[in-house]
């Protein structure tokens, strides 16, 4: 139910997309089958399976993912199956998630809803 | 804290379209449509880069299309480059495919495309024929011998 272990997702791999350091990217990013790790600044649309926004990472825009881990700052529309906002995470905007965990200390400002209400 | 260093990677299978700023070291294994200024750019074997690159060092193993301005360019055996290439030093491995306009001795300061393009293109001709001799079976260029 919860997101994959952090270490597993951040292990060095050529296929993983890293946006690190002082980098500023603007546009649209499709991660393909592999994780996307953001430690820089990204403005725009991200579509990927696994997305991690690390402590220094800042994303503004829309994010579509299977699992998302927010340790940094996210502002915008977030749609994902499973979302974890860690203690250092800040999420502002509209969140749609089916499995949601918010750690103590996290800031979540905005609306939260399910992607599609399951039939009971 | 950071075992990942400051290297930005566009992973295999990833596609990015847009603008990139403040990059230092960037590796492209996926597809990128962007204009980029960086210190070091690596385009991996599976990588596709479309757009302008302005960098100190560019290593191309994949596909590049656009206008590249670089201090050092290394085109490995699997490289394929089209567009424009302005360089100070160029290394080209056997098998690299360059279908582009190549201008030597580009520098950021004195670059003046309107004037330098034609001059440099002439200087390149002897170098190009040297490459042909080294790369192919030695043949005499005389016709009808």
Helix (H) / strand (E) element for B134: namely helix B113-135
Token pair for B47: 């990588």
- Is the CB of A33 less than 8 angstroms away from the CB of B20? no
Question: How much is the pLDDT for B135?
Answer: 46
> What is the per-residue pLDDT for A82?
95
Give a yes or no: residue A50 inside a domain: yes
Quote the pLDDT of residue B21. Answer: 87
Comparing alpha-carbon positions, the chain A residue that sits nearest to B21 is A24
Question: Does A11 lie at the interface with B, CB-CB under 8 angstroms?
Answer: no
What does the pLDDT read at residue A14?
67
Contacts of B20 (CB under 8 A, 6+ apart): A23, A24, A25, A26, B26, B32, B34, B35, B36, B38
**Binary contact (B12, A24; C-beta < 8 A):** no
Residue among A13, A32, A41, A65 with most chain B CBs within 10 A, to mutate: A32
Phi/psi at A46 (5° precision) = -125, 130
Calculate the dihedral angle through the C-alpha atoms of B129, B134, B135, B137, rounding to the nearest 10 degrees: 100
DSSP result, A17-47: EEE-TT-EEEEEEE-TTS-EEE-SEEEEEEE
How far off is chain A from B84, nearest CA to CA, in Å? 24
pLDDT at B106: 56
| Mean pLDDT over each residue of chain B, to the nearest integer | 79
Residue of higher predicted confidence among A12 and A99 = A99
Please give, rounded to a whole number of angstroms, the shortest distance from the CA of B104 to a CA of chain A: 30
Q: Considering the domain boundaries, does residue B144 fall inside one?
A: no
Q: How far apart are CA B110 and CA B69, in angstroms?
A: 13
Of B7, B13, B15, the CB nearest to A18: B7
In terms of residue numbers, what domain contains B70?
A: 7-132
A120 within domain boundaries: no
Average pLDDT over residues B128-132: 46
Least confident of A6-15, A88-97, B5-14: A6-15
Please indicate, yes or no, if residue B1 is contained in any of the structural domains. no
| Mean pLDDT over the full length of chain A | 87
End-to-end CA distance of chain A: 19
Q: How many helices (H) and strands (E) in chain A?
A: 1, 8
At A42 the pLDDT is 95
Residue at B140 is within a domain: no
pLDDT tier at A38 (50, 70, 90 boundaries)? very high
Using CB atoms, pick whichever of B12, B18, B21 lies closest to residue A28.
B18
Distance CA A6, CA B19 (A): 28
Q: Specify if B99 maps to a domain.
A: yes
Is residue A114 a part of any domain in this protein?
A: no
**How many domains, in total, are found in chain A?**
1
Domain assignment present for B108? yes
Domain assignment present for A65: yes
| pTM of this structure | 0.75
Q: For position A52, what pLDDT does the model report?
A: 95
Angstrom distance (rounded) from CA B25 to CA B16: 16
**Residue B136 vs residues A29, B98, B140, B143: alpha-carbon distances, Å:** 42, 15, 11, 17
B87 within some domain:
yes
The answer to whether A30 and B15 are in contact (CB under 8 A) is yes
pLDDT digits (tens, 9 = 90+) for B71-102: 999 999 999 999 999 999 999 999 999 999 99
Whether residue B45 has pLDDT greater than 90: yes
- Please state the rounded mean pLDDT for residues B37-44: 94
pLDDT confidence of A62, banded at 50, 70, 90? very high
Tokens of A102: 């918010």
- Total tally of structural domains belonging to chain B: 1
The average pLDDT across A75-93 equals 96
Q: How far is CA A2 from CA A68, A86, B90, in A?
A: 10, 12, 50
Question: Taking residues A6-28, what's their average pLDDT?
Answer: 74
Interface contact A15-B29, CB threshold 8 A: yes
Interface membership of B21 toward A (CB under 8 Å): yes
Q: What length is written for chain B?
A: 145
Select from A17, A27, A37 the Cβ nearest to the Cβ of B17: A27
Q: Within a domain: residue B145?
A: no
- Whether residue B126 lies inside any domain: the answer is yes
């Amino acid at each position: 139910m919860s997101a994959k272990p952090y270490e597993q997702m951040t292990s060095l791999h050529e296929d993983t997309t890293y946006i690190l350091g002082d980098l500023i990217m603007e546009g649209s990013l499709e991660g393909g089958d592999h994780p996307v790790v953001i430690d820089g600044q990204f403005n725009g649309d991200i579509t990927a399976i696994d997305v991690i926004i690390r402590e220094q990472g800042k994303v503004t825009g829309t994010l579509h993912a299977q699992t998302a881990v927010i340790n940094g700052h996210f502002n915008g529309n977030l749609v994902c199956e499973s979302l974890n906002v860690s203690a250092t995470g800040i999420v502002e905007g509209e969140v749609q998630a089916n499995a949601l965990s918010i750690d103590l200390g996290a800031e979540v400002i905005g609306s939260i809803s399910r992607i599609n209400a399951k039939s009971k | 804290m950071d075992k990942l260093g400051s290297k930005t990677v566009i992973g295999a299978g990833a596609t990015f379209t847009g603008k990139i700023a403040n990059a230092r070291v960037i590796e492209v294994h996926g597809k990128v449509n962007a204009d980029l200024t960086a210190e070091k750019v690596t385009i991996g074997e599976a990588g596709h880069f479309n757009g302008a690159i302005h960098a100190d060092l560019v290593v191309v193993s994949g596909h590049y299309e656009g206008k590249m301005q670089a201090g050092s360019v290394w085109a490995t055996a699997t490289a394929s480059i089209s567009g424009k290439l302005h360089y100070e030093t160029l290394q080209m491995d056997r098998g690299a495919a360059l279908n582009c306009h190549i201008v030597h001795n580009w520098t950021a300061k004195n670059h003046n495309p309107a004037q330098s393009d034609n001059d440099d293109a002439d200087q390149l001709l002897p170098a190009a024929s040297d490459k042909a001799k080294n790369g192919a079976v030695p043949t005499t260029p005389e016709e009808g011998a």
